[in-house]
Amino acid sequence: MKHLSPQDRPREKLIEHGPRALGDNELVALVLGSGCRQRDVLAVANELLAARSGLHGLVQATCDDLARVAGIGRARAAQLIAAIEIGRRTLAHGPKARLQLLTPPQAAAFLMPTFGRRGVEQFGVVLLDTKHRVLRTAVLALGTLNTAGIEPREVFREATVAGAAAIVVFHNHPSGDPTPSADDVDLTRRLVAAGMLMGIDVVDHLILGDVKYCSFKEMGRL
C-alpha cells in the first residue's frame, strides 16, 4: 500500500478516525496484515470479498474456503475465522445483568454462601448503584473483630471510590448466632448517620450466622 498516502492507509485511518471510517475491504486488509508478492493487501482483501460475495459470505466460510483465494493461505484464513468468531461471540454472549438486591432475603442469599459459615470474622460492604444492583463486594476487616472499632469513614471511602449510591454492610458471627450486640447496634446507627451526610443510603446491615441471618432492616432499626 505504499502508493497510498499515510492518512489513507487502513491502520492510520482507523487510529485517526475510528473503525467506522473504514470500508469492508480495509477492515479485512487490517486482519490479513499484508499482501503477497504479486498484490498488496487491499487487492487480496478485494478479491476475497468478491469471491465470498461480501462480509456475509465470510461469516459462513471455512478455513478451506478462504484458503482457496490466492494470497490467503491457511494461516491467514485462520486469522480471519478467529476475527469473525470474536465478533460472533460478542453478539451471542452479551454482558450479564448485574444482580439486584431489593430485599433482606436477597442480600442474605447473595452473602451467606461466601461469608456465612466462616471460622474467622469478616466485616464488609456490598456497593450498589442507584437501582440497588451490585457493583462489587469488599471485605474491609478480617480477624477478631470488635464492631465498635469499625469506623464509618472506612466504609464510605470504599463507597465513594466505587461511585456507589447505596450500600449493604455485613459481618459474620463465627459462633453461628447472628443476634446483634450492643456494638453492632451502635455501629449501624453511626453508619446510617454518616450515610445521610454523604448522600449514600445504608440499605441494611446483615449479621450472618451459620444458617441464619439477622437484618437490621427487617428488625425495623433502619
Q: What's the average model confidence in pLDDT over 131-142?
A: 94
d(CA 42, CA 199): 56
Instruction: Supply 220's cell numbers.
Output: 425495623
- The single-letter code of the amino acid at 58 is L
Is the pLDDT reported for residue 210 higher than 90? Answer: no
- Give this prediction's pTM: 0.61
- Whether the CB-CB separation of 5 and 16 falls below 8 Å is answered with no
Q: What's the average model confidence in pLDDT over 197-215?
A: 95
Q: What's the average model confidence in pLDDT over 132-151?
A: 83
Work out the pLDDT band at 140, boundaries 50, 70, 90.
very high
Q: Three-state secondary structure along 38-56?
A: CCCHHHHHHHHHHHCCCHH
Please provide the CATH number assigned to the domain covering 6-92: 1.10.150
Which pLDDT belongs to residue 86? 87
| 104-215 under CATH 3.40.140.10, yes or no | yes
Mean pLDDT of all residues in the chain? 88
Using DSSP, state whether 176 is helix, strand or coil: coil
What residue ranges of the chain are covered by domains with CATH 1.10.150?
A: 6-92
- Whether the CB-CB separation of 186 and 152 falls below 8 Å is answered with no
Residue of 195, 100, 207 whose CA lies nearest to 155: 195
DSSP state of 114: I
d(CA 100, CA 103): 9
- The single-letter code of the amino acid at 190 is R
Which pLDDT belongs to residue 190? 95
What residue ranges of the chain are covered by domains with CATH 3.40.140.10?
A: 104-215
Q: What's the average model confidence in pLDDT over 151-160?
A: 93
Pairing of strands 166-172, 122-128: antiparallel
Is the pLDDT reported for residue 197 higher than 70? Answer: yes
